[in-house]
Amino acid sequence: MSAQPLLEAEGLVKEYPMGVRALDGASLTVGRGEIVGIMGRSGSGKSTLLHILGCLDRPDAGRVCIDGIEVTRLPDSALPAIRLRRLGFVFQAHNLVPSLTALENVALPLRYLRPRPANPYAQAKAMLEAVGLGDRLHHLPGQLSGGQQQRVAIARALVNSPALVLADEPTGALDSQSARALLRLMRRLCQERGQTFVVVTHDPVVGQVCDRIYHMEDGRVLSTAAG
Amino acid sequence: MEILRNLYRRRLRTGLTVLGIAVGILAFTVMGAMAEKFNRLIAGGEAYFANRIAVHSTGGALRLNLLGPEEIEVMKRTPGVRHVETHIMMALDETAGFELAPRFLVGIDLPNFARAQLIGDEAAQLRLARGGWWRPGERQVAVLGSAVAHKMKLDVGDTLHARGRDFRVVGVLQETLSLPDGWALIPEEDAREILFDGSALLREMGLDGAWTNAYALIEPGLGEALTDQLAHSLRRGYLLHSPEQLAKAAGTASSLLNTAILGSGAIAVIVGSLAVINTMFFAVGERTREIGIKKAIGAGRWAILREFLAESVLIGLMGGLLGLGAAAGLIAALNGYAAQEGTPVFLLTPRLAAGALGFATLLGGLAGAWPAWRAANLDPVEALRAI
Ligand SMILES: Nc1ncnc2c1ncn2[C@@H]1O[C@H](COP(=O)(O)OP(=O)(O)OP(=O)(O)O)[C@@H](O)[C@H]1O
Ligand SMILES: [Mg+2]
């Protein structure tokens, strides 16, 4: 395996119309297989950073490299394919498509792949079993608890084996016990599958499972500390 | 599957939108079925009048302007005229008021009629459904058009009472969906007697040849020229129609009807597509978060566009099916009622049905295109901010 980090961001600047500098020269590096936390006060620019790292948004300045690809130089039309093949997302809540069952939600990224994988539902089922929801395959999101919904979201983020999983407060809507369980699950999957996680969080409990923590303040990444 | 579930989740709204399209398609189909019926009538008339110059007497009640043997002879001798078909035509029931499909007694001479049938357009040939023609010299017999038979509930062997006389029904014609459906064909001599009954003067004149209508069957392409020529060589007081004039009249009628269809189609477009646009914008607004998630997962613009487009196309298709079904039912009911009057007024042809369905589906797609385009172009970060 090369020494090249999986994720490299340098000098990211993002300014919003009303003159808010959400990012002001943020930089960070994440190695392969790491679990990295990003913490900081509300409004410090964590979500903005995550959206840019996830190719959902573009910075006004700076560059992002994922897996050796400088994604900030790609045209808009190339970004969905990057998100589809190399990235997985977990958001705070309401991650799931309400009209699809757990199984269909997990199979969704596979349905967007071209060429289509041979057996998307078998893959999705295996993934749901891996997050301990083998008995909830055909439940709609509305019929699952918040923690179960988040586990489905994690299964979906992992189903197409992305190099990098980005999570924005994945435990934000959960009680501390469920949050801990979810984190242990993420930790285990990450180790088993050699995947890389970047987790934005307020939650000090989350911080405990991370390899390293970045702290953000006013759009800058301040420090890195062992978790 | 997902599409159906999304539609089902919002079944009231979906239902109302589908209903909106269905009403438009219902109007479109019923109007179209009426036009199809008239188009068929007109097409039948065109076939019948192709290469035919019609000459009518205009004598009014006194019948002084009947066509006599000399006139027929003049027509026959005109170069380009192959045959002259002669009719004695009168209302079957003088006492009947306005009839949707008027019925006529038509007196014919069998050999004369048969020759005209042979020469004339094949599409306008009359065929027997039941029974046969009368034998030469037979009197007080009739062959009925399908609408006459149906309306008067007569069949072979029954007796037709018309204008104070009785006719034994010997044959019933196949349906043509055009004028002859309203005819009762009888021997020329019988018709002439009825004609002369009303006028002692005519009877005194003792004409052995007198007709109300004559048709010159001509060589193709000579219509206008021969009509002019006949108008000069015949005495005044006859009404002549060239094939072109008849075709033009028919064309005017059918273009009027087609405008009516287009009009009702336009209403269907406006009503239906507004409902679809509204519903789909609502759906896009409601599912903004979902669109954001799908984009984050890696759905391209085309994938999102297709999902919403498929939904609106399905709404259009369902509306089309419902509207078509309702129209078919309504047309069957109205035709059942009109059949008592002799002839159905609506004709739901396969091409009309296919057209209505295709139209509804296209409408759904076109109306859904705008909201779907909006959905496909949503900014993912903005979309994810929605709850
Ligand atoms: N679309 C926008 N338009 C204008 N300003 C914005 C927009 N999005 C974010 N901001 C501003 O950018 C700054 C950073 O926002 P961001 O959402 O990245 O913060 P955060 O660290 O994720 O906060 P939290 O922990 O509360 O989620 C905030 O001051 C916010 O007001
Ligand atoms: Mg945030």
Contact flag B2-A156 (C-beta cutoff 8 Å): no
For chain B, the domains span 2-43+254-385, 52-219
* Amino acid letter, residue B346: F
For CA atoms B102, B103, B108, B112, the dihedral sign is positive
Percent of chain A with pLDDT over 70: 96
pTM for the whole structure: 0.74
pLDDT digits (tens, 9 = 90+) for B190-246: 998 888 876 666 666 666 788 888 998 888 878 788 888 888 888 767 888 888 877
Compute the distance from residue A42 Cα to the ligand 1 centre, in Å.
Answer: 8
- Nearest chain B residue (CA) to A154: B297
Q: Is A42 in the pocket of ligand 1 (CB under 6 A)?
A: yes
Contact A108 B9 (CB under 8 A): no
| pLDDT of A53 | 96
For the segment B126-137, the average pLDDT, to the nearest whole number, is 91
Give residue A165's pLDDT. 94
Q: Provide the Cα torsion B146, B149, B153, B159; round to 10°.
A: -160
> Which of B9, B289, B380 has its CB closest to that of A94?
B289
Q: For position B199, what pLDDT does the model report?
A: 67
User: Looking at residue B263, what is its pLDDT?
Assistant: 83
Report pLDDT digits (tens) over A119-139.
Answer: 999 999 999 999 999 999 999
Is any Cβ of chain B less than 8 angstroms from the Cβ of A80? yes
- Best of A47, A51, A97, A168 to substitute, by most chain B Cβ atoms within 10 angstroms, is A97
Q: B247 CA to chain A: closest CA distance, Å?
A: 59
In this predicted structure, what is the pLDDT of residue A1?
45
Residues with Cβ within 8 Å of residue A199, at least 6 apart in sequence = A35, A36, A37, A38, A167, A170, A186, A206, A210
Q: Which residues contact B382 (CB under 8 A, 6 or more apart)?
A: B292
Residues 152-191 of A with CB under 8 A from B: 156
8 Å CB contact of A112 and B6: no
DSSP class of residue A4?
S
**Is the beta carbon of A219 within 6 A of some atom in ligand 1?**
no
CA distance B163 to B103: 12
Residues of A in Cβ contact (< 8 Å) with B288: none
Return the pLDDT at A4.
84
Averaged confidence pLDDT in chain A: 90
Q: Which residues pair with A38 in a beta bridge?
A: A200, A214
Kindly state the helix (H) or strand (E) to which residue B245 belongs, with its residue range.
Answer: helix B243-286
Give the span between the Cα atoms of B357 and B351, in whole angstroms: 10
Q: What is the DSSP string of A27-57?
A: EEEE-TT-EEEEEE-TTSSHHHHHHHHTTSS
- Return d(Cα B313, Cα B120) in angstroms, integer: 48
Residue B175 has what pLDDT?
Answer: 84
Q: What residues have their beta carbon closer than 5 A to ion ligand 2? A: A 47
Tokens encoding B236? 């005044």
- Evaluate whether B346 touches B256 at the Cβ level (below 8 Å): no
Distance CA B45, CA B87 (A): 17
Is some CB atom of chain B closer than 8 A to the CB atom of A214?
no
Set of chain B residues whose Cβ sits within 8 Å of the Cβ of A97: 2, 290, 293-294
Q: What is the pLDDT of residues B368-387, one digit of tens each?
A: 999 999 999 999 999 998 87
Contact A57 B303 (CB under 8 A): no
A87 and chain B: CB distance < 8 Å anywhere? yes
By C-alpha distance, which of B206, B165, B202 is closest to B187? B165
Exposure string for A73-91, b = 16+ CB within 10 A, e = fewer: eeeeeebbbbbbbbbbbbb
> Per the CB < 8 Å rule, is B300 touching A89?
no
Tokens of A151: 């586990």
